[in-house]
Amino acid sequence: MKATKAIFKKQLKATGANPESLIQFIIFPLLAWAMLAMMGQDDMVSDFAALPLPQYLLDELVREMITAMPNMVTMQATIFAGMGLIPIVAAVIADDIERKSLRFLSMAGVKPSSYLIGVGGVVFFLSFFSSLAFTLVGSFFGMEMLIFMGAMMSAVVGSIVLGAAVGILCGNVQSAAGLSMPLALVLGFGPIFAQMNDGVARFYHVFYTQHLNLIADYLNFGVTDTPLWQSFAIIWANIAVISIVFALVYRKKGIVG
Amino acid sequence: MISVSMTNVEKSFGENKVLKGVTFETQQGEIFGMLGPSGAGKTTIINILTKQIAADSGECHVAVSSSEIGLMLEHDGLFVQLSVMDNLIVFEEIYGIPRSHTMDVLEKVGLTEAAKTKVTDLSKGMRQRLVLARALLHKPKILFLDEPTSALDPVTARGIYQLIRDLREAGSTIFLTTHNMEEATNLCDRVVMLYNGKIIEEGPPKDICQKHDSMKTVQDLEGVFVKLTGGGLK
């Protein structure tokens, strides 16, 4: 516990010393808010007002357009949890391995689990506030807020463990960036494509980011083909599989470098 | 009492056999020097003793647990985003050391005024002193120093020598590698000379010099080394 606390504080200070790294935790909720503000219903009504259609048809058209479009909160939350976090965690761990800092921590008696919980804990902590910001932008309150936070933080855990596996596997920052970015793109953007194509949606049905997307969409529109419990179960099953991958990578490569 | 020992240790990296049956032991409370040119296998020996790599064969013994060891290695492993003080605080919290002791160590290495300086803004010498401070923080029983004064100015190096002597007075064993024969002569109680993965000579520096001084041509350890190997140290 002492070691975990020390690593957590060290990582928090390191993040604070590099304010640029905090942008990732702010930009996605901010983008969701900006996009929502820019794509308001009123603007669409005025855009379509010139069309020679009766008012009830114009209203229906605008409603259809809004429903068919990916929701901005859903989209940005999925991109944040799937794409933003994996490279961050991978880079931090790969950097500590590359600089041999982990060797000194290990010699001081810090267990790999303490190190990973300390580093992952900071990302989890910061992501918690980003997720709260998403709930405000998406106007999720009460039970909706709990469900959304539950889904977000579960997906965050999945991405943290996956990022840790990438960081350990690569062992240096350059390789970690090379591997984590395509992985993050696939996980972060896949669910957005899945909204536009049924084949892609079927493929992504096994991925945790897709179910974060589905849960958030359900909270926005109130309809879903996949029950909530099933989406949560698939997210947690993903975390279990990712943890096994992590354990295999850890056994093969170790953490000391 | 034996602090560190190696018996008939061998280690290869691919086709390259780095250690060829290395045997030595160090006593508690002595400054023990491992001398040899770059590539002789000195760092490999430290890495084996600190369990960072495994020997292919032979036996190793270190009398204390890894958390009672202090390390100053070729790669400093500092957290470059943090300040001098914050680097030490990480280990202070891991070891459960009071802040007053951390401040004492910081003062001993002459970094009190640089406590808030970010590691990336430190000079090579200051960085080396910070690494030493980290190694000394938990009052280690055995201190492994890999080329501790390489690339340091003479004044900083002398400061580090004094710290090493103080540690010996406090009962710690110091195991240092160096290719600086003058450093070894002035600092070490005993040395071994490593060449091509084998130990070619061992003993107190003065005894080694006397042993090879029959023709009055050898005056220091470097002379002994050149005589034994027919080559230089660099």
Domain regions of chain A by residue span: 2-25+70-253
Region of poorest pLDDT, from A12-26, B131-145, B152-166:
B152-166
Residue B232 has pLDDT above 80, yes or no: no
pLDDT above 70 covers what percent of chain B? 95
Residue A25 has pLDDT above 70, yes or no: yes
pLDDT given for residue B38 in this prediction: 81
C-alpha–C-alpha distance, residues B85 and B22, integer Å: 39
Q: Tell me the pLDDT band of B154, cut-offs 50, 70 and 90.
A: confident
Over range A204-227, report the average pLDDT. Answer: 88
Query: Could you write out the three-class secondary structure of A211-245?
Result: HHHHHHHHHHHCCCCCCHHHHHHHHHHHHHHHHHH
**Tokens 């935790």 appear where?**
A25
Residues B1-64+142-151+173-234: name the CATH superfamily: P-loop containing nucleotide triphosphate hydrolases (3.40.50.300)
User: Who among B69, B73, B82 is closest to A14 (CB)?
Assistant: B82
* In chain B, domain spans: 1-64+142-151+173-234
Residue A68 has pLDDT above 90, yes or no: no
pLDDT given for residue B26 in this prediction: 93
Condensed to tens digits (0 to 9), the pLDDT of residues A93-110 reads 999 999 999 889 988 889
**Tokens 């020097």 appear where?**
B33
- Taking one residue from A and the other from B, the number of pairs with CB-CB distance under 8 angstroms is 69
Compute the mean pLDDT over every residue in chain A, rounded to the nearest whole number.
88
Which candidate in A107, A110, A255 is best for mutational testing of the B interface (most B CBs within 10 A)? A107
Residue A67 has pLDDT above 80, yes or no: no
Residues B43-53: b if buried by 16+ CB within 10 A, e if exposed: bbbbbbbbebe
C-alpha–C-alpha distance, residues B205 and B183, integer Å: 11
Which candidate in A104, A105, A117 is best for mutational testing of the B interface (most B CBs within 10 A)? A104
What six digits make up the tokens of B72? Answer: 């100053």
Over range A230-247, report the average pLDDT. Answer: 94
Closest chain A residue by Cα to residue B97: A2
pLDDT given for residue B234 in this prediction: 47
C-alpha–C-alpha distance, residues B146 and B144, integer Å: 7
Q: Tell me the pLDDT band of A45, cut-offs 50, 70 and 90.
A: low
Q: Is the ipTM of this complex over 0.85?
A: no
User: Who among B67, B77, B134 is closest to A99 (CB)?
Assistant: B77
User: Who among A7, A10, A108 is closest to B67 (CB)?
Assistant: A108
Cut 0.90: pTM above it: no
Closest chain A residue by Cα to residue B87: A10
